[in-house]
Each structure stands twice: as structure tokens, then as C-alpha cells.
Structure 1
Amino acid sequence: MTDTSAPATARASWVPMIGLFLAQILMSYNVSALPVSLGGMVHDFGVPPTDVSTAIVTYGLVVAALVMVGAKIGQRVGWILMFRIVVALFAVSALTMILAPSVGWVIVAQALAGASAAIIVPSLVALIAENYHGRQQETAIGSLGSARALAGVSAFLIGGTLATLVGWRQVFVVVLVLAIAVFLLSFRLRSAPGNPEVKIDVVAAVIIGLGIVSLTFGVNNLNRWGLLQAGPGAPFDILGLSPAPVLVVIGVVLVQLFFLWTRRRTRRGQVPLVSLSVFGSSRERAAVYAMFIVVALEAGLNFTVPLYIQIVQGRTPFDTSLAMLPFNLTVFFAAMLVVRFYRRFSPRTIGVFGFILTTVALVWLSIVVDNNWETLPTILGLFVFGVGQGALVTLVFNVLVTASPKHLAGDVGSVRGTTQNLASAVGTAVAGALLVGILAANISTALTDHTELPPSLVSQVDLGSVNFVSNERLTEVLAETDATDAQVTAAVAVNEEARLRALRLGLLILAGVSALAIVPASRLPRFRPGEIPESVATGSDPDPE
């Protein structure tokens, strides 16, 4: 966070930063551990994988809905006190995950974790601004990106090993241990006391909260309730229309209403829920758009790969961790090393190049991927995607942080939290709905080409409610029907072909989204971070068109 008025100070101890670094790992590990545990939860609770994805979506939804309020609560009560309280709540969430008797309790636990993270996310930025300055602050901010990537690596390696050898519940014992460690290290942090005069705009909080919940809930249920027409799974219909797209539209309208309300309060001299000066220029808005897209792409890929490996192929979480290792390791190192390029290349150059890499990687994966994730071409695609993704997440966050004054640290943190977690929830929801929707269409088409599968057999298997199942599970279901061996073989072939085509088309669509992201990336600043403080201090536009 840029603070041009602060004099040069002595180097601060890095020990407090260890606690903040682990706090970022705590949140990111929790989210990354959910896909690793996908197969175990599906087996233990007897639910489809899309139900487990609801827990992932719930976490991101709650963080995104509450993080702006969380930033104001932190300012009012005091960052240190609130930080300790919510880290303790995160520990309770981990304990709930370990003891969860049903998938409903898993969703409750992730809602609690999300509510805790809604305050942890802005507090990380605010506490870094309080404890570090100058180049140390820049390094500390960059470390949050590498911590997020390291958590992904750890979740897939440690979590995958534990889920395979012991069980998925033990994966969240690590979350509990991390929460305790962060709580103890928080006593090394310093921060200014809270300001009871800070006002919380309740109206804005309700508007943005309802908007995000409506938007995410609608996207998450597009496949289940119907894309346009209400399907059999819809709880109700609106003149025959599915409630899912209606909720999406309502969510978009409420988000726009939030911006209108916030501008109105600002004009009247009242304190807004979040300062819109964080979006003060087209460059900062471009950083927010770019952050949303790259996190959504990452979430989609992190849901898709475990889905195929654990559910479709019926392999272990450890196999998942090995398949995702090239991607997660690359993200980790790219997030750390990209900071070295800030003095040589502008954010615009790095951003455009990063999205070109992710686009090329996703197109390549859609061409070469098959039912074996360990092939060299697939590993190469994950590697290239990881380079682009790791560089982009750290870059766009740094653009927001360094372009804003210190007193907006909490607001920048809340914008980051809202954007990243809404993107994660939407990315996971869209990936699930997209893959299941494409799969259903593929199976319907394939059935017309396989005349050896009569409608009487299809009705016995209920292929109308399509979801991702392994060949083994499909064979078990067909064994309970009057299908012949030839028909079982044909049905398995249909399943394999439809799944692979769904995967490839899904990756190609993600590549299209990544290509579109080059547009906001081209609006990122042309100046280098070292030039930012002077322009912020003078209030000028550092990157005139």
C-alpha cells in the first residue's frame, strides 16, 4: 500500500509476516482441499459430485457477500482483535469438517469458514500496511500470491496423500493445526486500535450481500433448474421460466444498484461501505476484471481435473495430487518470480502476455487431453497455464495495492476478497454446470447413433438425469437391468466418448473466456511499480491515453 508521506524506517522483523503468510495459506488450503476430498465425500455421503461442489461455492459466496462488511468491522473494532476472533472461528469450521456426518454439515462448515475469511482477507492487507513499509511492504504483498499458490501445492500433495492413505477428514486436521498456529503468531502483530466512529453502511451491505448471493446461487443452479425453461429439478417456475437465470439477472441489477447507492453516499459526504476511489481509473477497473477472470479460470480447472480423475476414472486423491502437481508448482514459482519482472516490464505487458499463455494452454489441453492425465502433452499444457495464472494473480493484486493510499488498505483488501471469492464460486459453478450440460447433450446425441441401446434400456438407467459417473459405477447400474453384455459395452463406450467430448469442449470454452480477458489486460497501467508513488502523490493520471 503506497504511503508517500512516511519517512524511511528501519527494517521490521519478518516474524509477524509468518503469521499473515500462514493465514493466507489457511484460507487457500481449505478451498484447495475440497476438490482433493471430492471422491471421499461422494463415497461417504452417497451424493453426486455437484453436491460437494456446492460446499466450494458456498465458501466463496459467503466471503464475497460479507468481505466488505468485514473490512468495516475490522476498522471499527480493531484489526488485531477481529483477526484473532475469526481465526478461532476458522478452527471451529475445521473441527466441523472433521466431524461432519453429512454433506449438509460440510456446507455449514464452509459457510462458517467463509464468514471468517470475510474478515481475514481485508485484515491481511491492512496489517501488512501497519507492520511493513517501502520495499518490505512490496515483498510482503507479493508473498500473499505465493502463499496462495503454495497452499494449492500443499493441499494437493499433503491432502491427496492423507485422503488416499487415511481418509478425507484428516485433510482438514491440517486446517485446524494451521488455524492454531496463526492464532498464536497473531500476538506478534501490531496495529492501531479500532475506531468506534467508523460507520457501517447497512443498506449497501444488504444490497451487495443479496446481489452476490442471488448471482452465485443462480449460476450454481443453471444446470439443475434449467438454463431458460424450468426443468424437473426447479423448486418453482416463473411463467415457465427457470428461477436460475432470473436470480442471475437480479444479482447483476443489485450489484449495479450498490454502485449507484455508494456514489450517492459519497456525493453527500457520507462514509461508503467501500471507497469507489479503489476503482478510480480504467486501469484499476481493468485490474479487477482481470483478477475475476483469472481466478474463475483457475477455479474451473481445479474443479474439472479432480472431477475427471476421481469420479470418472475412479482413481485416488493421491493420483489427483500428482496430476495437478505441475500446475500448482508452476503457479507457486510464477507468483514468486513475477515480482522480479516488475522493474523491467509494465503491468500491461505482463498481463497481456499472461492471458495469451493461459489461452494457448487451454486450447492445447482441449486438443491433447484424453482419459490419461499423466501424458507429457497434458503436463506441458498445465505447466504453461500455471505460468500465466501465477503471474496474473500476483500482478493484478499488486496493481490495486500500489495504486491506492495506505488509508484505503481495508477497502483494497475487501475488493480483492470480493472479486477473488466471487470469481472462485462462479468459476466452480459454471464449470460444473457447463460440463454436466455438455455431457447431457453429448449423451443424447450418442444414443441416437447407437441403435443397439433401445429406449427401454435407456429408461431403466435414467439417463435423463445425467451426471458424471465412472465406468465401474455405470456397469454396476446396468447389471441390475436386463442389458446384454454387448449393450453394457456399448453404454460404457457412449459414457466414455460423451465425457471426453464434454471435457474438451469445456476446456475450449474456458480458452475463449481467457482470450476475451486480453481486452481488460490491455487496459492495465503502462508504468512500472517504481513510478507509482509519485503519480499517486500528485493525484495525476500516470498513464494517459
Structure 2
Amino acid sequence: MTTRGDTRPPAEAATEGRRSWLPLVSLFLAQVLMSFNVAALPVSLGGMVEDFGVPPTVVSSTIVVYGLVVAALVMTGAKLGQRVGWVTVFRIVVATFAGSAVLMIVSPSVGWAIAGQAVAGASAAVIVPSLVALIAENYQGTQQATAVGSLGSARAISGVSAFFLGGTLGTLVGWRPVFGIVLVLALAVLAFSVTLRADRGDPGVQVDVVAAAVIGGAVVLLTLGFNNLNAWGLFHASPAAPFDVGGLSPAPLLVLAGLVLGQAFFAWTRRRTAAGKVPLVDLGVLARPSERAAVYAMFVIVALEAALNFSVPLYIQIVQGRTPFDTALAMMPFNLTVFVTATLVVRLYRRYPPRTIGVAGFALTTVALVWLSFVVTNNWETLPTILGLFVFGVGQGALVTLVFNVLVTAAPASRAGDVGSIRGTAQNLASAVGTALAGALLVTILSVNVGRAVAEHVELPPSLVAQVDLDDVNFVSNDDLRAVLETTDATESQVEAAVGVNEEARLGALRLGLLVLAGISATAVLPAGRLPRYRPDEIPDPSGGTGGR
């Protein structure tokens, strides 16, 4: 690609000023570092529960704390990078990430582990925008597009490697050596960071403390609210809810409060910008419809990915009662496809505009989800199911890289940190929303399906339903259901009837849930249709020209 007004041949413009790929090694490994740490936490839950002697819900706080800290601080982290200098702050926070790994390795209690992940989250809040800024600083043109694509492939490969390495080490040695790998990765990132192009910070950049507090609170409330819609209740408060307001669940109230704070943040930022002061994030990077469309598209595709990543393990591990290894095998076609597609999709940028690739990507994810809703069975290793996951992976991998690249190339290097902070905030919120949507949707459909089936089934009398609460059952395995029924006066035929109802209701819930996700994917074609349509041999003018948009 060449810049608008550049009269040189495209080949000459593309090759002139090409830089070594060594700086990308550090940035690629930094993305692997963060993604591996996140993926290693679920793998280590069992070992930490046994080691610390606490319930799984307490240990899972490590995951919650990490995500909350990243999402709440990522915009502040971007401003720190602009003030201190991206290379300097990058090295500092990678070193603190290494310190968080040490905390995990030596932690004598779960409190230390939670503190370790809080440190890791604060470090990642700076690393996320740093990656974008350093890519913009070190690469241009097609090299920049390739570098952006590498971050998407790093996320995909990290999840697979974390499971296999973490599962192996956790089984043979223990959970602590898993974070020894995190420590080694952090040291490797530091070693390769010497190849990064140095930059100078701007001491005049001020951190808007008010905006940082408001957006941090908004993100925390939204994340907590969405993540607990299923546990605390979608509308009415469940027994697990920490409190209720007139019987209403606190989860939707937290979401509402988060939305209000989010609007307050945008109002404050616009007011500060109009006054000539430096805002926490420059909303100018979202000034054009195509850039806002890229953020919407990013939110939807990340939410869909999170929903699928929740639904498949839920069904395989909880419903079918199979191992995490079986889950990894079932998701392997998807993860590997995302890895390959995210890397190779940049080759299409020379032939097709982003709008065409974006619409095609959402068309693929929609077709894949519809296909899966019809072909999914109790066996995830069937060829039709693998084909559906493969097609979804192609669309997802292409879209994540594409929309990220649209934002990076549309903004000047000085605003790359703002792009990175928006990306980090959008992805964290989308992941929470996607997981919560999948959980609430599947459980609601399951409840309706089971309730209707129980009412219609002649072999399940009201007395048995009252004993095991069959009309309010959650996703449970057949073995667990049989164990519960053994404590009742159910006959063998009634037990088999209840198991049959459970099987059909679960499969029906999953299929209908996939169809709903397909509908959401289809609606995302609208924002994808507003992505840039500049010619493949052009790069949009970051200074503000509209180009071919």
C-alpha cells in the first residue's frame, strides 16, 4: 500500500524503509505473555484450590481481579506511556509483570495470588496500548498490517499452548511451574525490547484524574454487572446475590450505573477537549463513521468469540462430563484457524477494501453459527461440527485483525496509544458481555425447555419434580442428575425419563442459543458495511483526509 499522493510504484513504496522484524518479536511475545497468563489461570484453578484449601469461587477471584484491573486502568496506562515514553514504560511494566509471576510462584496463600494478578493486570493495562504505539513507531504500510495481524495470532496460539503446557505441568509437577513459564516469557520480552526504536515521552502530558476515576468506575461496574447476570439473576435477585433492591438483582443495576458513568465520561472528555485541555483519551480517533464502525465490529466479534468459548466448554465439560483435554481437542480447529487467518488475512488487503473483507467475515461467522446450530450433537468431534468451527475461525480471525488494523492505520502515530486504550477497553467489555450473554441465554432457554418437557412428560409426576426441582435445573451432567435422583423415590424408568428430558433440553438450548448468536452476527454486517472503502493500494491519510472513505 502507498500513501495518497505518492507517485512511486507500489512495490518501491512498500519496500523502501522496511525494518527488521526483530522488534516485532518483543511485541509478539508481550501479547503471548498476557494471553498465556490469562489462559493459565483456569488451568491452575484445581491446583490452587487444593494448595490453598479454599473454595473454587475464592480462587476464581484471580481471574476477575486481573480482568477488572486491565479494563479499569488501560486508558490511564495509555497516558502514562505518552508522558514517560513508550519504550521506557514498556520495559518497566514488563518487569512488573515478571514480578507478578514471582508472586504467583511463591504465594503462600490465595491472597498473595490475587495480589499477583492485580499487579499483572495493572502491568497489562500499560502493555496493551504500548503494543499499538510501538507497532506504529516501528512499522509502516504492509509491515504494520502484518505486525497488527501477529497480535491476533499470538492470542490464539497462547490459549492452546497454555492449556497443553499448563495441563501437563499441573498434572506432573504442580500449578506453580506454569507461572514459571510466564516469568521466562517476561524475561524474553525484556531481552528483545532492546531492538525497539527509542522514543521520547512528553512530560507536558497530564493524566486527567477525574476522567480516569469515572471511566475506571464505569468499566468495573459494567464488568461486574455483566459477569454476574447469570449468578445474581437477570431480573430477580437469586440467593447468590450479595444484595437486592426490592427483590431486583444488583447485576442489571450495576450495568445501568456503568452506562451512566460511561456517558458522564464522554461528556467530561468533550468538555475538556473544548476547553483546550488534554483529555484522558482523544476521541478524535473515533471522529469518522468508519472508525466508529470498526469499534462496533470489534466489540461484536470479540463478544461472539467469548460466547462460543463459553458455550463449547460448558457443554463438553459440564454436560458431557468430559475433561479439559477433550475441550482443547474440540476447540483446536477453531483456535488454529484463528491463528493462521489472523496472520494471513493481511495478504487480502492488497486486493480488497476493508469494507468487503469485513462484510465477508461476518457473513462467514453467521453461516458458521447457523450451520453449528443444525449439526451439533453430543459428539463435538464430528466432521460437520469441526467444519463449522473452522469456518467461524476464518471469519473471526480475519475480523479481529481487520478492524484493529483499520483503527491503527487511520490514526497518526501520536494517537496510537489512544487507539490501544480504546481497543483494550472494548475487548475487555466485549468479553464480559459475550460470556454473560451466552450464560444467561443458555440457562434461560434451558429452564423453559425443561419446564415445558417436565409438564408434558407423563412419567415425571409433580411429587418427583418437587423433590429435585427439575423445572429449575441448570446445566448438569447425566451422572450428576442420576446421583441426585438416587436420593429420591424415583423408579428406574423415571430416572431414565428425567435424564432423557435433560439431554434433549440441553441440546435444544445450545442449538437455539447458537441461532441467537447467528442473528447477532448477521446484524453486525451493518457496522461492517461502514468500514473504509479506500482502494487496496491506498493507506488512509491519518492527518484527517477522508480519502476513499
Q: List per-residue Cα deviations over 1:66-95 (Å, max 9, x = no partner).
A: 110010112223323332332233334445
Query: Residue 392 of structure 1 aligns with which residue?
Result: 399
Distance 2:255 2:123 in 1: 26
Q: Structure 1 residues 406 and 86, CA, compared in 2 at 3 Å: closer, same or farther? A: same
CA offsets per residue over residues 197-253 of structure 1, 9 Å max, x none?
Answer: 210011111111111111121112222222223333333222332222122122112
> Distance in 2 between the 1:167 and 1:12 partners?
42
Does 1:121 find its partner at 2:128? yes
Query: Would the alpha carbon gap of residues 299 and 58 (structure 1) be closer, same or farther in structure 2, given more than 3 Å must change?
Result: farther
C-alpha contact (below 8 Å) 1:348/1:523 kept by paired residues: yes
TM-score of the superposed pair, with normalisation by structure 2: 0.89
Q: Residue 431 of structure 1 corresponds to which residue in structure 2?
A: 438
What is the rounded CA distance, in whole Å, between the counterparts of 2:49 and 2:238 in structure 1? 24
Name the residue aligned to 1:223: 230
Please show how residues 123-272 of structure 1 align to structure 2 within 5 Å. 123-159=130-166, 162=169, 171-272=178-279
In the TM superposition, what are the counterparts of 1:66-465 in structure 2 within 5 Å? 66-95=73-102, 109-159=116-166, 162=169, 171-463=178-470
1:304-350: CA deviation from partner (whole Å, max 9, x where unpaired): 21222222222222211111111111111111111011011010000
Contact between 1:310 and 1:316, CA under 8 Å: does it hold in 2? Answer: yes
Distance 2:2 2:113 in 1: 40
In the alignment, structure 2 segments of 5+ residues that lack a partner are 7-12
Query: What's 1:488 paired with?
Result: 495
Moved more, 517-526 or 104-113: 104-113
| Alignment partner, residue 9 of structure 2 | none
User: How far apart are 1:363 and its partner, in Å?
Assistant: 0.9
Residue 36 of structure 1: how far off its partner (Å): 5.5
Does the aligned pair in 1 maintain the 2:354–2:406 contact within 8 Å?
yes
Distance in structure 2 (CA, Å) of the matches to 1:141 and 1:124: 9
| Distance across 1 between alignment mates of 2:48 and 2:480 | 16
The residue matched to 2:445 in structure 1 has which SS? helix
Q: Please report how far the alpha carbon of residue 456 of structure 1 lies from its aligned counterpart in structure 2 after TM superposition.
A: 4.4
Rounded to whole Å, the distance in 1 between the matches of 2:481 and 2:309 is 25
In 2 relative to 1, CA 471–171 (structure 1 residues): closer, same or farther, beyond 3 Å? farther
- For 1:23 and 1:255, locate their aligned partners in 2 and report how far apart those are by CA, in whole Å: 29
Residue identity opposite 2:436 in structure 1: A
Change (3 A) 1:25 1:386: same
Corresponding residue of 1:540: 545
Taking a change above 3 Å as real, the CA distance of residues 13 and 541 of structure 1, as seen in their structure-2 partners, is: closer
Contact 1:36-1:321 within 8 A present in 2 as well: no
- Deviation track 1:414-469 (CA, whole Å, cap 9, x = no partner) reads 11111112111221222222223333333322322334344444444455764332
Task: Label 1:43 to 1:393 Cα distance change in 2 as closer, same or farther (>3 A).
Answer: farther
SS at match of 1:197: coil
Q: 1:536 to 1:303 in 2, by over 3 A?
A: same
Instruction: Tell me the CA shift for residue 12 of structure 1.
Output: 3.1
Q: 1:61, 1:213 within 8 Å by CA — same for their partners in 2?
A: yes
Between the aligned partners of 1:71 and 1:330, the Cα distance in structure 2 is 31
Aligned equivalents of 1:4, 1:271: Cα separation in 2: 29
Q: Matched residue of 2:520: which SS?
A: helix
Residue 489 of structure 1, CA deviation: 2.1
Contact 2:373 2:510 in 1 (8 A): yes
Contact 1:91 1:176 in 2 (8 A): yes
Name the SS of the counterpart of 1:199 in structure 2. coil
The question of 1:519 aligning with 2:526 is answered: yes
- Structure 1 residue 153: Cα displacement: 3.6
Residue matched to 2:10: none
Letter in 2 for 1:541: T
Count of residue correspondences? 541
Once structures 1 and 2 are overlaid, which stretch shifts more, 509-518 or 158-167?
158-167
Deviations 1:401-423 (CA, angstroms, capped at 9, x unpaired): 00111111111111111111211
> Matches of 1:195 and 1:127 in 2, distance apart?
15
Distance 2:482 2:318 in 1: 14
Report if aligned partners of 1:160, 1:321 keep a CA contact under 8 Å in 2.
no
| Gap change, CA 1:3 and 1:352, over 3 Å in 2 | closer
User: Cα–Cα, structure 1 residues 418 and 502, in superposed 2: closer, same or farther, change >3 Å?
Assistant: same
**Contact 2:2–2:537 under 8 Å retained in 1:** no
| 2:316–2:322 CA contact under 8 A, matched in 1 | yes
Q: What is the identity, as a one-letter code, of the residue corresponding to 2:503?
A: E
Q: Which amino acid aligns with 1:540?
A: G
Counterparts of 1:95 and 1:453 in 2: how far apart (Å)? 55
> Contact 2:4 / 2:539 at 8 angstroms: preserved in 1?
no
Q: Is the 8 A contact 2:95 2:186 kept in 1?
A: yes
- What is the alpha-carbon distance in structure 1 between the residues aligned to residue 500 and residue 218 of structure 2? 43
User: How far apart in 2 are the matches of 1:52 and 1:3?
Assistant: 51
Q: Which amino acid aligns with 1:299?
A: A
CA contact (8 A) 2:535 2:548 kept: no
Q: In structure 2, do the counterparts of structure 1 residues 403 and 10 end up closer, same or farther at CA, with 3 Å as the change threshold?
A: closer
Match for 1:188: what amino acid? T
Deviation for aligned residue 1:503: 1.4
Distance 1:109 1:516, change over 3 A: farther
Deviations 1:496-525 (A, max 9, x none): 222212211221111111111111000001
Aligned residues: percent identity? 70
Determine if contact 1:156/1:320 at 8 Å carries over to the other structure.
Answer: no
Structure 2 distance, partners of 1:43, 1:456, is 39
TM-score calculated relative to the size of structure 1 = 0.89
Q: Which moved more, 1:218-227 or 1:134-143?
A: 134-143
- Give CA-to-partner distance per residue, 1:466-506, whole Å, 9 cap, x none: 43322223333333444333333233223222221221122
CA drift of 1:101 comes to 8.2
Return the alpha-carbon distance in structure 1 between the equivalents of residues 225 and 443 of structure 2.
16
Q: In 1, are the aligned partners of 2:222 and 2:254 still within 8 Å (CA)?
A: yes
User: Which letter maps to 2:546?
Assistant: D
Q: Alpha-carbon deviations, 1:129-188, whole Å to 9, x = none? A: 333344433332232222223223433444455556666665544333322322332233
CA gap of 1:524–1:65, structure 2 versus 1, over 3 A, is: same
Aligned counterparts of 1:26 and 1:356: Cα–Cα separation in 2: 32
